Amino acid sequence: MVKGETDLCPQKYKKDFPKIAIIFPGPYLAGMSSLAFHALRRHAQVHGNVSRFFIENNTPVSPDKAHWHDMDFFLFTFCYESQCRIFENISLLPGKPVMAGGPLVSTYPEYFRRNFNVSYRGDLTAEFFAGAFKQCGTASGLVTAPARKTAEDSPECSSIIAAHTEFPDTFLIEISSGCTSSCAFCLVRALYQPRIFFRKEKILSLLSENANYYGKVGLIAPSVNEHPEIKSIMRWCLEHKKNISFSSIRLDRADEEFLELYALSGQKSLSCAPETFAARLQKKIGKNTDYNQYLKALRFLVSRGIASFKLYMLCGLPGENDGDNMENIKTVLKLQQDLKTCGVQIRLGISLNPLAPKPLTALAQSPLIGETVYKKISALYRRELAPAGISFKAESYRAAECQYAMAKKYSSV
């Protein structure tokens, strides 16, 4: 353990059990912010003596003071494409089983088939992990979880509360999985079917059991506000003096009661992802963001003291033209003007991402926008938004390029 960590499921040394390295291909800060990594630790501890490793400067580093060469099994979890490059630069130990899991395995199965003794895709239930682990020295290829989790299963949650992560002092908990919306660019619907809302009782029981160890609850779901019991869960947090963070909110589906609780939960700002306000493109990507619903929700938040908003937008959508980008810019400017009528200083920020088409989605065959065009669109946004005091950030083209390269190289099976 490192300074600032509280272990919620400390392991006892198990004689004659294997030494399992669980590895997050990336730094400690990112790994300890990943619920998938926490879940892997909880499950793996049942079957062996587990040590964490993170990859810093191509080198495995263990906060548990374990030695890479002493380990019997190597279990990696993959959430992002960039982690594959990190993995490729690590020196593995010949003859020792190397396994992979995590959402990326389902997206790029061929990559994992080629690079690992065995890779696991699908929901990480305790039964699946137990069965898979028994065969991990002998199984090979791709193993698919036999069943999806159900609402009756216990939600995944933090196994350690850590001070030095992206979510310090926070108990992360998955409250739902999957999504019923059909945004053409999004993998969630393809990977996690059917949608599951974990039972409120199970969620509150975990929050309650661990309440002495954290100050904040991190609610994880593709759209947190769509959980049918979200308001009760938030009320519990407020009654127990816990702040809340939200992985993702669909603002156009947030009612006033939710927004009221959101404002009471210690928030200073709100981030959301309209993707595009251009009506023509909304139809193409299957995500209809209604301007008036957005405005109504944001005005309500302003009336409750929240006046800092960040909107995530996409560009490079199929059939997009200059007119669509101008429509987006004009809508953002109008939003700022309309919010000004609240009589409060508003801070509005735009984050622009190039669409990186993903396998398994309806846009899988779409091209990646060219870098020059992306720079031109970014410059247009910056030029038009800056005079109005709206901050603007163009996100990394390299990251999108890396994702696109993976998608093109490894077809799904």
Contact residues for ligand SF4, defined by CB under 6 A: 179, 181, 183, 186, 188-189, 222-223, 250, 287
- Rounded least distance, CB 345 to ligand SF4, Å: 30
- Return the number of the residue (32 or 278) whose C-beta is nearest ligand SF4: 278
Q: Is 96 exposed, middle or buried (0-12, 13-18, 19+ CB in 10 A)?
A: middle
- Rounded least distance, CB 293 to ligand SF4, Å: 14
Give the chain's largest Cα–Cα span.
69
- Return the number of the residue (47 or 149) whose C-beta is nearest ligand SF4: 149
- Return the number of the residue (71 or 179) whose C-beta is nearest ligand SF4: 179
- Return the number of the residue (284 or 287) whose C-beta is nearest ligand SF4: 287
- Return the number of the residue (161 or 188) whose C-beta is nearest ligand SF4: 188
Q: How far apart are CA 54 and CA 77, in angstroms?
A: 11
Beta-carbon contacts of 7 under 8 Å, excluding residues fewer than 6 positions away, are 1, 159, 160
- Rounded least distance, CB 238 to ligand SF4, Å: 26
- Rounded least distance, CB 312 to ligand SF4, Å: 10
- Rounded least distance, CB 386 to ligand SF4, Å: 28
- Rounded least distance, CB 226 to ligand SF4, Å: 9
- Return the number of the residue (99 or 224) whose C-beta is nearest ligand SF4: 224
Q: Is 129 exposed, middle or buried (0-12, 13-18, 19+ CB in 10 A)?
A: buried
Contact (Cβ atoms closer than 8 angstroms) between residue 8 and residue 2: no
Contact (Cβ atoms closer than 8 angstroms) between residue 109 and residue 101: no
Q: What secondary structure, in 3-state letters, does 24-88 show?
A: ECCCHHHHCCCHHHHHHHHHHHCCCEEEEEEEECCEEECCCCCCHHHCCEEEEECCCCHHHHHHH
- Return the number of the residue (25 or 274) whose C-beta is nearest ligand SF4: 274
Beta-carbon contacts of 329 under 8 Å, excluding residues fewer than 6 positions away, are 380, 381, 384, 385
- Rounded least distance, CB 178 to ligand SF4, Å: 8
